[in-house]
Amino acid sequence: MLRSQKQSFVAELEGVCRSSDGVVFTHYHGLTVAQISQLRRSLRANNAGFKVVKNTLFKIAAGNANLTIEDHMSKGPVAIAYSADPVAAAKVVVDFAKNNDSFKVIGGVVNSDVLSAADIVNLSKLPSMDELRGKIIGLLQAPAAKLVSIMQAPGSQVARVIGAYAAKKIEELLSFVWTSFVCKQN
């Protein structure tokens, strides 16, 4: 890599570190290009990214972005998965690692906290930000739905009472007609 290419790569990695709330470090040695492409597609579908990094350049970029990483995270063939939602990247990466023995999660950084591989697995079990937003909206809408049903209940109860009263009167009328006209003719 030329010096200018290294500088632009460091600047790009620094931007990734600054804009991402979650960065997951992985070892990808032994994966095929097709498998890496599949992982990238899965991450993109979840608003996350994947980048193979040069360890020395990533250390420089992380230092510039005030991101603390442990030494074992930058040894060997390292790639990072990153996203603004720390759970999204962790979910996809952990799920991918279950199906691919060559792919290993080695740790991560979430909101400036260094996490171990086990912590990343636990993080992947949490609901994503989109799932949490959906649950919150559901909780906020539930009282409104209950209020509407409560407000509709008196009207529907009145309609049922009127319907029952009308049915009773119709039955009385039919009974009267039956006894008055049909039974007198026989």
Instruction: Answer whether 21's CB lies under 8 Å from 128's CB.
Output: no
Please identify which residue in the block is written with the tokens 């290419």.
Answer: 5
- 144 has a pLDDT exceeding 70: no
Do 166 and 109 have their domain in common? Answer: no
Query: Which of 108, 126, 144 is the C-terminal boundary of a domain?
Result: 126
Q: Identify the pLDDT of residue 95.
A: 92
According to DSSP, the residues that pair with 115 across neighbouring strands are 108
Do 29 and 112 have their domain in common? Answer: yes
Q: Identify the pLDDT of residue 53.
A: 86
Closest residue by Cα to residue 109 from 133, 82, 131, 136: 82
- 133 has a pLDDT exceeding 60: yes
Do 71 and 120 have their domain in common? Answer: yes
Average pLDDT over residues 68-72: 81
Kindly compute the dihedral angle of the four CA atoms of residues 68, 69, 70, 71, in this order, to the nearest 10 degrees.
-120
> Under DSSP, is residue 137 helix (H, G, I), strand (E, B) or coil?
helix
Tell me which residue range forms the domain holding 14: 3-126
Average pLDDT over residues 113-119: 88
Give the pLDDT band (50/70/90) at residue 59. confident
Do 51 and 118 have their domain in common? Answer: yes
Do 73 and 101 have their domain in common? Answer: yes
Do 96 and 186 have their domain in common? Answer: no
Distance of CA 48 to the CA centre of its chain: 12
Do 35 and 107 have their domain in common? Answer: yes
Closest residue by Cα to residue 40 from 7, 72, 80: 80
Do 97 and 51 have their domain in common? Answer: yes
Number of folded domains in the chain?
A: 2
Minimum mean pLDDT among 48-52, 69-73, 86-90, 169-173: which range?
169-173
Query: Which of 92, 126, 160 is the C-terminal boundary of a domain?
Result: 126
More confident residue, 146 or 4: 4
Give the pLDDT band (50/70/90) at residue 41. very high
* Threshold 0.75, pTM exceeds: no
**Arithmetic mean of pLDDT over the chain:** 82
Do 30 and 98 have their domain in common? Answer: yes
